[in-house]
Structure formats: structure tokens, C-alpha cells
């Protein structure tokens, strides 16, 4: 298995035109169905958001959101007390915050059921590139296995697949997809390098690219 550094080099060498060709061949148009923003069965919506993305959302919205309004600890690896529901344990990275139904907190629907993102211009890279990912180790594969592939590009379940997409839109999406692949690998390398054991017997500890943090995004000294 190649190192994360080798995969990062491969991500930086990705050709945007080739990625756009693959996206065009698969086809995509967002139908605003909201499936990628909602809880799936009994599982809350889980989309990775990195520290810089959390801060960008905060800054672009005049700091109206605190850290926990935007992000929550990725749930994997955490234990919940059956009586109090308090969580303890250690996890890696952050997920977008959810509402009481498990949907993304920034997802909205109009009276006709048409979905919209209230932070659309500042949404995380994983949201901006859905339903696509690249086939590189160390990058995330959203919402299960791929349902279509073309070269390095994988497409995940979405009702918008197979629809016509313009070349300009495919190229823009491809450029963002490359940016995401690079960012995810840089983050993975930094998480590995910044990791250190921390006591989490009575609290949640999140390990991200900046070190170990409490659930409100504060670094643990």
C-alpha cells in the first residue's frame, strides 16, 4: 500500500481535464432532492468538515455560529451513556452538525419539498463534489460504495447521476474534486503527525489536523 505522501503526489498530478471527461461520461445534475443532506434510515447525516472549513463558515456568516453550531465530533468510536446520553471516547475529525431529525443543520426545504443549503457558497468540499470521489487511498468515499466508475472518478448513489452536464460545469466540478482529494490527503497526513494519546475517560476527544481538541473545537494543551 502506498504511503499517504505518495497518494498526495498522485492527487496533485491529477489532470482536471481527465476528471472532467469522466464526470461528463457519467453525467450529473443536482435535482435538489436533499438525499445527501438527510439522515439515512436511523443513521444521522455524516459529512466530514475540516477545521479550516468550520472557521470559513463562521467568518462568512459574521461569527453567528460557534464551533458546535457548525460541527460535531465524528460519531465513530464514541460511547454513549445509556442513562444520560453523555458521550465519551476518542474519534478522528468532525462532521457537519445535525438537527433533531439527524439531517444536516444547514439543510432547508421549501413548501414544495425542494431542498437548499443555507451555506451553499461556503459548504465543505465533500458537499461541493457529491456524488463524486476519486479512487485514491486516504480520501473519503461518501455514502457507501461507488455505483459507477470512470477512470479515477467514482460516483456514489444519487438520483442526479446519468443526466447531461455541460463541459464548463464538469470542469468546475473536476477542479473542486481535485482540490478535495489534495485537501483530504493533507489533512490525513497532519492528523497522523499531530496525533498524541489523550485521556478521554470522562470526555470526548477529537483528533484533527491541528491536534487533540475538546468537542467545542478547543485545543487540549
What radius of gyration, in Å, describes the C-alpha atoms of the chain? Answer: 18
Whether 142 contacts 156, CB under 8 Å? yes
Q: For position 71, what pLDDT does the model report?
A: 97
Percentages of the chain per state (helix, strand, coil), in multiples of 5: 35, 25, 45
Q: For residue 117, what are the contacts with CB-CB under 8 A and spacing of at least 6?
A: 37, 104, 106, 107, 108, 123, 127
Instruction: Read off the pLDDT of residues 89-119 as tens digits, 9 standing for 90 and up.
Output: 999 999 999 999 999 999 998 888 788 999 9
| Beta bridge partners of residue 72, listed in sequence order | 95
Q: How far apart are CA 47 and CA 74, in angstroms?
A: 9
Q: Is the pLDDT of residue 53 over 90?
A: yes
Q: How far apart are CA 116 and CA 109, in angstroms?
A: 6
Q: For position 62, what pLDDT does the model report?
A: 80
Provide mean pLDDT across the span 20-29: 97
Provide mean pLDDT across the span 2-23: 96
Instruction: Read off the pLDDT of residues 138-182 as tens digits, 9 standing for 90 and up.
Output: 898 776 788 999 999 999 999 999 999 999 999 999 999 999 999
Q: Is the pLDDT of residue 81 over 80?
A: no
Q: How far apart are CA 189 and CA 137, in angstroms?
A: 12
Nearest Cα to 133, choosing from 149, 119, 118?
149
DSSP symbol at 157: S
Count CB atoms within 10 A of the CB of residue 120. Answer: 10
Q: For position 82, what pLDDT does the model report?
A: 64
Q: For position 110, what pLDDT does the model report?
A: 85
**pTM of the predicted structure, to 2 decimals:** 0.92
DSSP symbol at 81: -
DSSP symbol at 85: -
| SS3 at position 89 | strand
Q: For residue 75, what are the contacts with CB-CB under 8 A and spacing of at least 6?
A: 44, 46, 91, 95
Q: For position 148, what pLDDT does the model report?
A: 93
Nearest Cα to 73, choosing from 202, 171, 217, 169?
217
Strands annotated E in 69-124: 71-73, 78-80, 87-92, 94-96, 107-109, 115-117
Nearest Cα to 133, choosing from 88, 177, 185?
177
Provide mean pLDDT across the span 188-211: 95
DSSP symbol at 42: T
Amino acid at each position: 500500500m502506498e504511503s499517504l505522501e505518495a497518494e498526495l503526489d498522485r492527487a496533485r498530478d491529477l489532470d482536471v481535464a481527465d476528471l472532467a471527461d469522466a464526470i461528463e461520461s457519467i453525467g450529473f445534475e443536482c435535482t435538489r432532492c436533499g438525499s445527501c443532506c438527510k439522515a439515512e434510515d436511523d443513521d444521522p447525516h455524516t459529512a466530514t468538515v475540516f477545521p479550516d472549513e468550520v472557521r470559513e463558515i463562521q467568518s462568512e456568516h459574521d461569527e453567528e455560529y460557534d464551533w458546535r453550531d457548525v460541527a460535531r465530533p465524528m460519531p465513530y468510536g464514541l460511547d454513549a451513556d445509556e442513562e444520560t446520553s453523555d458521550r465519551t471516547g476518542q474519534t478522528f475529525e468532525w462532521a457537519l452538525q445535525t438537527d433533531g431529525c439527524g439531517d444536516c443543520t444547514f439543510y432547508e426545504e421549501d413548501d414544495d419539498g425542494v431542498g437548499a443549503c443555507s451555506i451553499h457558497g461556503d459548504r465543505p468540499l465533500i458537499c461541493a463534489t457529491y456524488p463524486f470521489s476519486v479512487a485514491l487511498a486516504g480520501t473519503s468515499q461518501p455514502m457507501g460504495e461507488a455505483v459507477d466508475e470512470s477512470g479515477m472518478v467514482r460516483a456514489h448513489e444519487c438520483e442526479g447521476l446519468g443526466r447531461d452536464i455541460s463541459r464548463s460545469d464538469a470542469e468546475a466540478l473536476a477542479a473542486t474534486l481535485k482540490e478535495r482529494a489534495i485537501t483530504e490527503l493533507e489533512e490525513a497526513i497532519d492528523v497522523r503527525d499531530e496525533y498524541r494519546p489523550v485521556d478521554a475517560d470522562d470526555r470526548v476527544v477529537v483528533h484533527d489536523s491541528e491536534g487533540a481538541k475538546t468537542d467545542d473545537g478547543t485545543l487540549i494543551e
